[in-house]
Amino acid sequence: MMAAPHIPGLVGSLPKLRGRSQADAPLAPFTWFRAGGPADVLIRPADTNDLAAFLGALPHDVPVHVIGACSNLIVRDGGLPGVTIRLARGFSTIAQDGDGMIAGAAALDVTVSEHAAASGLTGLEFLSGIPGSIGGAVAMNAGAYGGDMAAVLDWVEIVTRTGDQRRLAAARLALAYRHATMPAGAVVTRVRLRGMPGASGLIGARMADIKAAREASQPIRSRTGGSTFRNPDGMKAWELIETAGCRGLTRGGAMVSEKHCNFLINTGNATAADIEGLGEEVRRRVFAATGIRLDWEIRRVGIPAGKPEVVAHCARDVVAHGVREIMP
């Protein structure tokens, strides 16, 4: 499907907003890849009522995108047409609620896990190993280190594209592996996560173990977008990528991580086209080598611009699977 074109003069025709709006707003500084084009208009609603009033008055033919921490996102170089919503300060509160935590959609996953630990609640430690915000974690049923949102989510509050505010039980979202069924155009604003009383020492030790495991196995200090591809049933995406010989593969300024080959890295000057193009090349080579098609876990949004650089090299020759790479 072709992306919608940019809308000239959009900012002057938008509904009133108590929060902030910015035309032709750079988005690359928000993304963990530090790449990509601008938004026609970027808005930061003051609170849920502000967001609901804005969406209710916004013409339905104006495209709407929602971004959070942008830890698992590629914004294409041509940018995002229409309105891009970024939830910020008014959506980041966190509070204990009996045996659970109520958190705004903009609250960072790791911060929610820390608040739960401070409240003596266990079951949410896995969030400390997931980069990103709670709203995004719900939208993709994020999970890691033996836990996922489906196991702890009680309810989610949303604002619909028509401006209605609703609370949905977790069962309404049909949560599955890296997937949640949300009403079209809905924006997550707040959630309740279920925990249970636990020993603070054990909770802290578990979180320390998760932190150590991440630092040992993932390129967390690089410009990366987290896990690139979903794990196929009964398989590990990184093992398939390794089998296809793509560890260290480069395209322009993008590279498949040497440390964890299900991570793509911006080595310094990568465009979004470099990063997405490298991911597509990895998918092609994995299919050629194994017959398995990898599905993206990273969201890719916006309008492409230009063509990616050619593939430079792989880390080693791959002859056994019918693909030969030329070493640099």
Residue 17 dihedral angles phi and psi, to the nearest 5°: -145, 130
**CA dihedral in degrees (150, 213, 136, 38; nearest 10)?**
-160
113 in active site: no
Active-site residue (options: 157, 227, 247, 281): 227
297 in active site: yes
Please give the Cα distance from 205 to 63 (Å, whole number).
45
119 in active site: no
Residue 308 burial (C-beta neighbours within 10 Å; 0-12, 13-18, 19+): buried
Active-site residue (options: 114, 157, 276, 297): 297
Active-site residue (options: 34, 172, 178, 300): 178
- Active site residue ranges: 178, 227, 297
